[in-house]
Amino acid sequence: MLNRYGWSDALQQQFQIYATRDLSPARVIIQQRGHYVLATPIGEATAQLSGRFAHEAEPGAYPVAGDWVAATVRQQEASATIHHVLPRHGAFTRKAAGRGQAAQVVAANVDVALLVASLNANLNPRRIERYLATAWESGATPVVVLTKADLCHDGGARKAEIEAIALSVPVHVVSVVSGEGLEALGESFAPGQTAALLGSSGVGKSSLVNALAGVALMATKAIREEDARGRHATTHRQLVLLPNGRLVLDTPGMRELGLWDADAGVATTFTDVEALAAECRFNDCTHGTEPGCAIRAALADGTLAEDRWRSYGKLQRELAHLARKNDPRERAELRKVWIKRTRNYRAQKRQRMEDD
């Protein structure tokens, strides 16, 4: 059972510290609002966290789909209690939705990140750049998947547009209706490897799982015709074992993907921009008015697209803002700046009132 879900000698070595404590290795195959289903040596089992683990676990340390855990398994009840999460070899992490500054782990121990976007009016290269940065940071190998090719009359042109910003990352154009591209996509990861499907709602992730499996395993929904936007079909994270031995992790659509500690991922996604910046005459070039700026030269001759440069700058500013929020010293300095600005504003307001 565990071998089919990717158990390995390296994982067995990691598990040795738990082997003498009457715990069994297991993999989280379903995660939904604090409820879990595990693949265990004796089959599937529903699971919950132990009270101690639930109380002591750090943010981001709770089990997610794809995690390997140490659990007490009760065979007769087909139930289990999770006590520990084994070290992850990688995790797809984003800033939690909303105003908070917490990290949210979306999937763990992923080998290949299938970044899914639909070939309809909602195809957005800037969103794909964001997904690429997060995928590279996770340690997984990214693959871009453009779905619903049967509904697009210029699939080749759209693919070329995405290849221009994906650089060396493979881009697959697929259709679950006609079967186009599915065989090549299935060969992008090997039996025993885990591929996570990541993308917005309605891009066809669940339909893709069904097509790769050759059977309807996941519920699907159609996109809204009036604006080509999708609706949530998957409401939980689920690791699916395909008949050919490959593993696919389906995730709910994400309406926003805030970066989290993705400096290296952004640098890898924008290697062309980083290479240009390294050619500037001055090491501290701000790419404004300095002479010998390679970025401005590339923008002028069209070597670097304006929208790609803006996207790079936006992601860099987002990471800098996040770093300030999470660094106590940076927060303190920022607070001083805002206090000074507030005092100046109030002083100016009082002065205007006195003048009137």
Q: What is the mean pLDDT of the chain?
A: 85
Q: Measure Cα distances from 187 to 160, 174, 245, 327 in Å.
A: 21, 13, 12, 43
pLDDT grade for 318, boundaries at 50, 70 and 90? confident
Going along the chain from its start, the domains and CATH numbers come out as 3-85 (2.40.50.140), 91-250 (3.40.50.300), 263-343 (1.10.40.50)
Q: How many Å apart are CA 287 and CA 247, to the nearest integer?
A: 45
The pLDDT tens digits of the residues spanning 143-175 come to 999 999 998 888 899 999 999 999 989 999 999
Tell me how many helices (H) and strands (E) the chain has: 11, 13
Partners of 144 in the beta sheet? 115, 171
The pLDDT tens digits of the residues spanning 175-234 come to 999 999 999 999 999 999 999 999 887 888 888 999 988 766 655 545 444 444 444 445
Q: How many Å apart are CA 218 and CA 3, to the nearest integer?
A: 23
pTM: predicted TM-score of the whole model, two decimal places: 0.81
The pLDDT tens digits of the residues spanning 60-98 come to 889 999 999 999 999 999 999 999 999 999 988 887 665
Select from 198, 196, 199 the least CA-distant residue to 229: 199
Select from 325, 302, 356 the least CA-distant residue to 95: 325
Polymer length in residues for the chain: 356
Q: Give one DSSP letter per residue of 190-213, joined into a string.
A: -TT-EEEEEE-TTSSHHHHHHHHH
Q: Nearest 5°: phi and psi at 318? A: -65, -40
The conformation of residue 120, written as its DSSP 8-state character, comes to S
pLDDT grade for 24, boundaries at 50, 70 and 90? very high
